[in-house]
Amino acid sequence: MAEEFISKEYQLVSGGTDTHVILIDLTNKKITGKAAEKTLEVAGITINKNMIPYDEKSPFVTSGIRIGTPAVTTRGMQGEDMKKIVSLIDSAISNHDNQQKLLSIKDEVSNLCKSFPLYSELQN
């Protein structure tokens, strides 16, 4: 997931990650962490705004976002699915002022999640 964000010109704090958490500096994307969090919420994606080192924004606004992978890996998502998630996040952030596009992304997110249901063994 980290490599995919880097390929889309996102700046990762520390240049990458060795854990299940990615901290992204959004300064070059011209959007605050708070705005990205709200945008992604509309698109059906849950992340957290997060301060980055030497952040000039307040803790209530921030210049970064934090993304964790346990929620999607628990569902069984893997490499290609992670690329799709990064693509959806990038599309939402790039279209943060386009409500129609965000709702379309939300539909894609919903369909992806339906392909990896939680507790599928309990649904029968």
34-86, pLDDT tens digit by residue? 999 999 999 999 999 999 999 999 999 999 999 998 989 989 999 999 999 99
Q: What is the pLDDT of residue 19?
A: 74
Q: What is the pLDDT of residue 92?
A: 99
The yes-or-no verdict on residue 119 having pLDDT over 80 is no
Q: Does domain 2-117 have CATH number 3.40.630.10?
A: no
How many Cβ atoms are within 10 Å of 118's Cβ, its own excluded?
A: 11
CA 109/CA 111 separation, integer angstroms: 5
Per-residue pLDDT band for 122 (boundaries 50, 70, 90) equals low
Q: What residue spans define the domains of the chain?
A: 2-117
Nearest C-alpha neighbor of 4 from the set 74, 60, 78, 64: 78
Per-residue pLDDT band for 120 (boundaries 50, 70, 90) equals low
The yes-or-no verdict on residue 94 having pLDDT over 70 is yes
The yes-or-no verdict on residue 113 having pLDDT over 80 is yes
The yes-or-no verdict on residue 30 having pLDDT over 90 is yes
Planar angle of CA 67, 23, 14, nearest 5 degrees: 145
How many Cβ atoms are within 10 Å of 96's Cβ, its own excluded?
A: 19
